[in-house]
Amino acid sequence: MASSRSVLNFQSFTSQALSADDVQLIETSVEQFGAPLLMLDCDIIRQQYRALSNALPNVTLHFALKPLPHPAVVRTLLQEGASFDLATSGEVELVAQEGVPAERTIHTHPIKRDADIRDALAYGCHVFVVDNLNELAKFKAYNDQVELLVRLSFRNSEAFADLSKKFGCTPEQALTIIETAKEWNIHIKGLSFHVGSQTMNPQKYVEAINTCRVVMEQAVERGLPALSTLDIGGGFPVNYTKQVMPIDQFCVPINEALSLLPETVQVIAEPGRFIVAQSMMSVASVMGQAERDGQTWYYLDDGVYGSFSGLIFDDAQYPLVTLKQGDECAPSVLAGPTCDSIDVIAENIMLPKLDNGDLIIGRMMGAYTSATATDFNFFKRAQTVVFNEQVANCERMIG
């Protein structure tokens, strides 16, 4: 669903207090649509895309749909001139529906079924990722249509998600893949990696870029075709409850490392979380309450099986705010609605006395939240209300 209101200012959500305008907008949205809600501000999508574009001036940004595959996000970024990073046929369908030109997309799932490859090719996306010979062999049938990136693995135990545990190969394996591709007449366009989601230390990128530069040199030494692309993945960090480095500062060493690449190498990235994390806030209401072991338990209509699924899947800690004013705060528990005991959002947090129907706001709820929500126990997922989308028909229903 969409709303024509356009006064939402999510900036204030990164500070402790909500502005009076925010509070009013939250309350009118709940009156109009009910709770639980996710409020999506497209202005923040634009702001984050521009901030990362400025911080990485020579890098083409392919938004990774995975953290928030929402049509309004795709439309907003399309207007901004963004490119897109797809991983599944469902994501291909979404960008196709929104009219994204296929030349602006890459498909980066390292493991694909033949149907996944065919769906992407039918749409017109022809850049794919491989990290092993079994996968490479799948492209023999399409060798005149595809360009491939070889994904390298760089482990990162500090990230929210160490994506190099499951995917990626060693530099030596990469060279074997590139050599074999030459024998099989398959075009290798370049290298890619993902240093891990919410990576706090830019040095992780620097090390990966330097290793890729060496692999590119070794490929040339072995008489293989020169590689034209380096894909530095996603992973760019945002502020949850801990402050991270501002993105300009974060990207300084990355740009330095990129400047050592041959001028012929085109650099791309696949940011997900950085673009969308700040763009949504969640609004849940208190369904009921009980006193247990000296704490007040508040049962909300959204929880870890819903919008707060990132507490389990993503390791994220979301800043939480109540609209209730009260001087006397007591240690409290915020629990989700399902009958499962794992469904607890926060324990031992100091809250004023809440009434049933009072609202709890979660900030930084844009990435890996609704995307991983379930309908467990038949609790419906929170509806997403879209703000500040620059379209002619503001009342468009999105669902």
Ligand X SMILES: *Cc1c(COP(=O)(O)O)cnc(C)c1O
Among residue numbers 37 through 96, which ones bind ligand X (CB under 6 A)? 64, 66-67, 85
**Is residue 310 a contact residue for ligand X (CB under 6 A)?**
no
Report which of 324, 286, 325 is spatially closest to residue 303, judged by C-alpha positions.
286
Q: Which of residues 360-389 bind ligand X (CB under 6 A)?
A: none
59 DSSP β-pair partners = 267
Among 26, 273, 336, 387, binds ligand X (CB under 6 A): 273
Asked if residue 105 binds ligand X (CB under 6 A), the reply is no
Q: How many residues at the interface with ligand X, by CB under 6 A?
A: 17
Decide: is 163 part of the binding site for ligand X (CB under 6 A): yes
Supply the minimum distance, in Å, between the C-beta of residue 271 and ligand X: 5
* CB 45, min distance to ligand X, A: 14
Angle, alpha carbons 249-318-294 (nearest 5°): 140
Q: Which residues contact 104 (CB under 8 A, 6 or more apart)?
A: 62, 82, 83, 84
Residue 285 binding ligand X, by CB under 6 A: no
CB-based burial of residue 72 (10 Å sphere; 0-12 exposed, 13-18 middle, 19+ buried)? Answer: buried
Q: Which of 169, 329, 339, 394 is catalytic?
A: 339
C-beta closer to ligand X: residue 322 or 372: 372
Output 234 or 362, the one with its CB closest to ligand X: 234
If the CB atoms of residues 84 and 379 are measured against ligand X, the closer one turns out to be: 84
Shortest distance, CB of residue 135 to ligand X, whole angstroms? 14
- Exactly one of 194, 204, 213, 363 binds ligand X (CB under 6 A); which one? 194
Cis peptide before 36 (omega within 30 of 0): yes
Closest distance to ligand X from the beta carbon of 53 (Å): 15
Pairing of strands 187-192, 147-151: parallel
Contact pick of 36, 69, 202, 233 for ligand X (by CB under 6 A): 233
Window contacting ligand X (CB under 6 A); options: 42-50, 208-216, 228-236, 319-327: 228-236
The residue range among 234-242, 286-294, 300-308, 389-397 that interacts with ligand X, by the rule CB under 6 A, is: 234-242
Q: Is 329 a catalytic residue?
A: no
Taking CA atoms, 357 is separated from 24, 131, 214, 368, in Å, by 16, 51, 59, 26
36 touches ligand X by CB under 6 A? no
Q: Which residue is nearest to ligand X (CB)?
A: 234
Integer angstrom CA distances of residue 366 from 266, 322, 329, 371: 30, 19, 28, 9
As measured in angstroms, the least distance from the Cβ of 151 to ligand X is 8
Q: Give the whole-angstrom CA distance, residue 225 versus residue 75.
A: 37
Exactly one of 202, 235, 310, 337 binds ligand X (CB under 6 A); which one?
A: 235
CB of 140 or CB of 166, closer to ligand X = 166
Query: Catalytic residue positions?
Result: 339
Which residues bind to ligand X, rule: CB under 6 A?
Answer: 64, 66-67, 85, 108, 163, 194, 197, 233-236, 270-274
